[in-house]
Amino acid sequence: MRTRSQRPSNPQRDRIVKNPIPWYTPRFWHGMRASTWLSHLARNRFAVSPAKLPAVISITGFSVLNSILAKIDQLAFSRQLAKVELAEPPVFILGHWRSGTTFLHELLIRDSRFTFPNTYQCFVPHHFVLSESWLSPLTTKLLPRRRPMDNMAAGWQRPQEDEFALGNLGVPSPYLSMMFPQRGSVYPEYLDLQDLSNTQKQAWQQAIANFFRRLAFRDNRRIVVKSPPHTARIRALLEMFPEAKFVHIVRDPYEVYASTVNLWKSLNEVQRLQDIGDMSWIHEYVMNSFERMYDAFQSDYELLSDDQLVEVRYEDLVDDPMGQLQEIYSQLDLGDFAYAETAVEGYLADVKNYHKNKYHLDETTRREVRHRWAPYIERYGYDKQPEPVAVGS
């Protein structure tokens, strides 16, 4: 635990993860309004593979429904939403993909004093105030019980990244690379927001502020948010929420690399609207995104006061979750942890038999990770332990 004051192609690596999700399962794009959906098709020159035409027809139909429901939602609730103020500053969980952010999020939201954006709210952020009570129960059986990339629980009421909400609201996001993966990465400037114009940055901030107001309208407890891209956005988030709290989790970088590559391959396979194509670009995408993320994080680090940021190692959290959570609560002044202990212990009992995926990381890639991510490795003490031969997600 650290406080602010302490502070070449490879067949194994480039393998394609086969789609384990049934054809009828909603994809992220099913939550878009027609204007957003059609703009993405046009931007990608309608480069849809023939096998994906049924999905495109389905998404198009749902996008029209989303547009109608969003308009009704706006007419019914806009005046009330404009008056909403967050009861308490949000808590942001920071950390690279596959660093343990989901596990930490699941632990923190056991506290009934907190709330969080769920999958349904992130799926249709423009009309969940209107539709969640009746539409989510009708569609819940369409979702898989487990996430394909790590076998963790899934479902409409499970916690979700607000980055998906932003994408479905029409805000550019690096996650949109999953739609047409042959094009490689998209919108890298929206990872850290640093190269955006003032107008673009303000639009991003307005979108997330509106989404948080909608969450608070439904449930005005303290919001606990988990989206890895926010690790590179501390400055922009502080401009909106100057008293926000941040928990930053780090993990063995060799494990992070291998598991993140698998994550993007899995998501690309599930969410794509064209043939999968050559996925070798994912290697450089993971390397570059990590470097960009932690350059921004280091730049913004000093903006946070001592009671705003706590850093924790994933390995320590797994070894002693109750002790690590106690320190997080204490450092960030989140209230008495004893209030949440029973619920946290119950969750830990439920997941005690969870097994991580395993992947082999070749020596060439390990050396590249060690060289390019050296500042992170040294800062968080991962240069002082043996390098693994097999790594997990």
Domain that holds residue 24: 2-392
Q: What is the band of 26 on the pLDDT scale with cuts at 50, 70, 90?
A: confident
Share of the chain above pLDDT 70, in %: 87
Task: Give the separation between CA 145 and CA 32, rounded to whole angstroms.
Answer: 23
Tokens 């991510």 correspond to what residue?
Answer: 373
Give the pLDDT confidence of 257-312 residue by residue, as tens digits.
999 999 999 999 999 999 988 889 999 999 999 999 999 999 999 999 989 999 99
pLDDT at 11 over 50: no
Residue 213: per-residue pLDDT = 98
Residue 174: per-residue pLDDT = 97
Q: Which of 105, 99, 108 is nearest to 313 (CA)?
A: 99
Residue 112 CB neighbours (<10 A): 10
Asked if residues 212 and 244 have their Cβ atoms less than 8 Å apart, the reply is: no
Q: What is the band of 384 on the pLDDT scale with cuts at 50, 70, 90?
A: confident
Tokens 């994408």 correspond to what residue?
Answer: 167
Residue 22: per-residue pLDDT = 60
Give the pLDDT confidence of 138-168 residue by residue, as tens digits.
887 777 666 655 556 668 889 999 999 999 9
CA angle 364, 368, 372 (to 5 degrees): 175
Give the global pTM.
0.90
Give the pLDDT confidence of 181-204 residue by residue, as tens digits.
999 999 999 999 999 999 999 999
Q: What is the CATH number of the domain that holds 44?
A: 3.40.50.300
Give the pLDDT confidence of 209-223 residue by residue, as tens digits.
999 999 999 999 999
Type of residue at 310? V
Share of the chain above pLDDT 90, in %: 81
pLDDT (average), residues 44-72: 96
pLDDT (average), residues 317-341: 97
Computed over every residue of the chain, the mean pLDDT equals 90
Task: Give the separation between CA 154 and CA 151, rounded to whole angstroms.
Answer: 9
8-state DSSP, 153: B
- Reduce the DSSP state of residue 112 to 3 states and report it: coil
Residue 46 Rama label (left phi>0; alpha psi -120 to 50; beta) = left
Q: What is the band of 353 on the pLDDT scale with cuts at 50, 70, 90?
A: confident
pLDDT (average), residues 113-124: 97
pLDDT (average), residues 244-262: 96
Residue 392: per-residue pLDDT = 39
pLDDT at 23 over 50: yes
pLDDT (average), residues 102-118: 97
Please report the DSSP string for 51-95 in residue order: GGHHHHHHHHHHHHHHHHHHHHHHHHHHHHHHT---SS--EEEE-
Measured CA distances, 266 to 21, 31, 46, 142, 181 (Å): 10, 20, 23, 19, 12
Task: Give the separation between CA 317 and CA 383, rounded to whole angstroms.
Answer: 19
CA angle 324, 327, 331 (to 5 degrees): 145
Write the CB contacts of 133 (distance below 8 Å, at least 6 apart in sequence): none
CA angle 293, 167, 198 (to 5 degrees): 65
Tokens 């291998």 correspond to what residue?
Answer: 258
pLDDT at 50 over 50: yes
Q: What is the band of 389 on the pLDDT scale with cuts at 50, 70, 90?
A: very low
Domain total of the chain: 1
